[in-house]
Structure 1
Amino acid sequence: MDIRQLTPDLAVSSQIQPEDLAGLAAEGYRVLINNRPDEEVGTDIDSDAMRAAAEAAGLSYYFNPFTPGQITPEMVALQAEALAQDGRKFAYCRSGNRSTVLWALTQAGQQPTDDLVDAAARVGYDISGIRPLIESLAR
């Protein structure tokens, strides 16, 4: 797993496997957020498989699929709901970038845009292209 600690309570990653979840729970993660659409994966790692594995590991599970270029207010709201849960959160998609983008959008208006873009860059994600969207949501 390519775990990148975005904030003290949130790590993001590229695609994980069901067998990874017991280890994540043992590391103190309590919430799993799947931002990868089922259309991108096989049934061995689709939302049903990951939900079952998350529940077996004692993790709360959120499925919030993000197809590139198709961000909706509902997606941002669901990500915010998941991120508001108690405990450490772990979000993943194909590369971790979409999970990072959704995190930044949930923080619009709560943190300066530069801080959000910089935090993403520190863990290897360039989200500068969504700067106008973050600023629009912050207003």
Structure 2
Amino acid sequence: MDIRKIDDRLAAAPQIALEDLKAIAGLGYRSIISNRPDGEEPGQPDAAQVKAAAEAEGLTFRHIPVTGASMGPEAAAAMRAALDEMPGPILGFCRSGTRTTCLWGLANAGERPAGDLIETARAAGYDLSPLRPRLENGPA
């Protein structure tokens, strides 16, 4: 599994398989956030399947599906709430880990300097620089 630590609360990963959840729990993760819309790709487990498998391993689950076009203030607020409310550490996933990392950045916009968010994401292998204006001015 390609799990990349973003900060002390969140790591990002590409699509996980249902059978990965036992190992994810074994790594100490306590919560899972899915940022993939159901049906985005053939063969991808849907949110209900991931939720059931995650809960069977004792993990908390939340589904915040986004696309590039739907990554607005509501999605950022939902991600902020998940980061604040869910037991950590949290593993977020999408197709590549990029949307999870972008939502993390937008959820922290206004609380941390944009350059810090961009550099933190870059250290994990994700490029948030195209989001700089939104990171500086909030997720709108």
Identify the TM-score tier after normalising by the shorter chain. over 0.9
Which letter does structure 2 place at the counterpart of 1:6? I
Q: Deviations over 1:96-131 (max 9, x none)?
A: 000000000111111111000001111111110011
TM-score with structure 1 length normalisation? 0.93
Matched, 1:83 2:66: no
User: Tell me, which stretches of 5 or more residues in structure 2 are unaligned?
Assistant: none
Per the alignment, residue 117 of structure 1 pairs with: 118
Which letter does structure 2 place at the counterpart of 1:8? D
Matched, 1:17 2:27: no
Matches within 5 A, 1:47-126: 47-84=47-84, 85-126=86-127
Structure 1 residue 15 displacement after superposition: 0.5
Q: How many Å separate the matches in 2 of 1:58 and 1:44?
A: 22
Contact (CA 8 Å) 1:31, 1:82: kept in 2 or not? no
- Identical-pair percentage: 43
Q: How many Å separate the matches in 2 of 1:32 and 1:110?
A: 23
Which letter does structure 2 place at the counterpart of 1:9? R
Moved over 2 A (4+): 41-44
Per the alignment, residue 6 of structure 2 pairs with: 6
Q: How many Å separate the matches in 2 of 1:134 and 1:81?
A: 17
User: Tell me, which stretches of 5 or more residues in structure 1 are unaligned?
Assistant: none
Task: Identify which range, 120-129 or 36-45, moves more after superposition.
Answer: 36-45
